[in-house]
């Protein structure tokens, strides 16, 4: 019988926090997960022009198709962000570039984004500080294409709380827990986050894919 090898899956991100979260959430599946850094994939021509769409789903799918085309590997790509009610759904797909969009460049990107968000919400009442995280996850393989999503609702605090997580996590409060994502234990976040919800759907889709058989 030919030996069985694990499927290879490329995570199309250079965000080490996202890599850690996704790898942990995919634990137990017969796949070998690599990041762009793991494979030594530096900036590719046109890479910065991929995420130009107005929805998370479009951006995730465009990114997955881009790296599939350039590597030939099965690719999973994530686009996620924070949507704040008082900002009419912003920063949304511009979450990573939020501070830069408001003229703040350089330094710690997460800290700059959080500072910018707090400044814009300074006069917003607590009852109007609702927000949600969104995640779109796209996978492109030789056989199939998938786009799934996840969402978690909360509110925005008036100052950073906790040192865990990344991005806007220290500002994103889950009322049912009385804690921000920055304060919650990682194992709890891994159960309830927007990315966890998307990954659960992805796992159900991925599990039927048989490991590859290596010809002798």
Q: Which residues are catalytic?
A: 79
Q: What are phi and psi of 203, to 5 degrees?
A: -60, -45
Helices (H), the chain: 16-25, 56-71, 98-101, 109-120, 186-192, 194-206
Cβ atoms of 198 and 180 closer than 8 Å = no
CA atoms of 122 and 210, how far apart (whole Å): 52
CA atoms of 211 and 86, how far apart (whole Å): 47
* Ramachandran assignment for 46, one of left (phi > 0), alpha (psi -120 to 50 degrees), beta (any other): left
For 75, 145, 187, 210, the CA distances from 33, given in Å and listed in that order, are 10, 18, 20, 16
Burial of residue 82 (number of CB atoms within 10 Å: 0-12, 13-18, 19+):
buried
């Amino acid at each position: 019988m030919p030996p069985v090898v694990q499927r290879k899956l490329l995570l199309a991100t250079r965000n080490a926090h996202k890599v850690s979260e996704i790898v942990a959430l995919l634990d137990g599946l017969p796949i070998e997960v690599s990041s762009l850094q793991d494979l030594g994939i530096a900036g590719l021509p046109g890479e910065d022009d991929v995420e130009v769409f107005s929805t998370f789903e479009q951006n995730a799918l465009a990114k997955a198709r881009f790296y599939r085309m350039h590597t030939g590997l099965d690719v999973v790509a994530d686009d996620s962000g924070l949507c704040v009610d008082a900002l009419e759904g912003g920063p949304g797909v511009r979450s990573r570039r939020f501070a830069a969009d408001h003229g703040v460049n350089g330094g710690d990107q997460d800290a700059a984004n959080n500072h910018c968000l707090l400044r814009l919400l300074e006069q917003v009442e607590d009852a109007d500080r609702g927000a949600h995280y969104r995640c779109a996850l796209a996978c492109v393989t030789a056989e199939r294409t998938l786009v799934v999503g996840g969402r978690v609702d909360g509110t925005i605090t008036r100052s950073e709380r906790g040192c865990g997580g990344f991005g806007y996590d220290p500002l994103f409060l889950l009322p049912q827990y009385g804690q921000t994502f920055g304060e919650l234990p990682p194992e709890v976040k891994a159960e309830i986050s927007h990315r966890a919800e998307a990954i659960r759907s992805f796992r159900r889709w991925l599990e039927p894919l048989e490991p590859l058989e290596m010809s002798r």
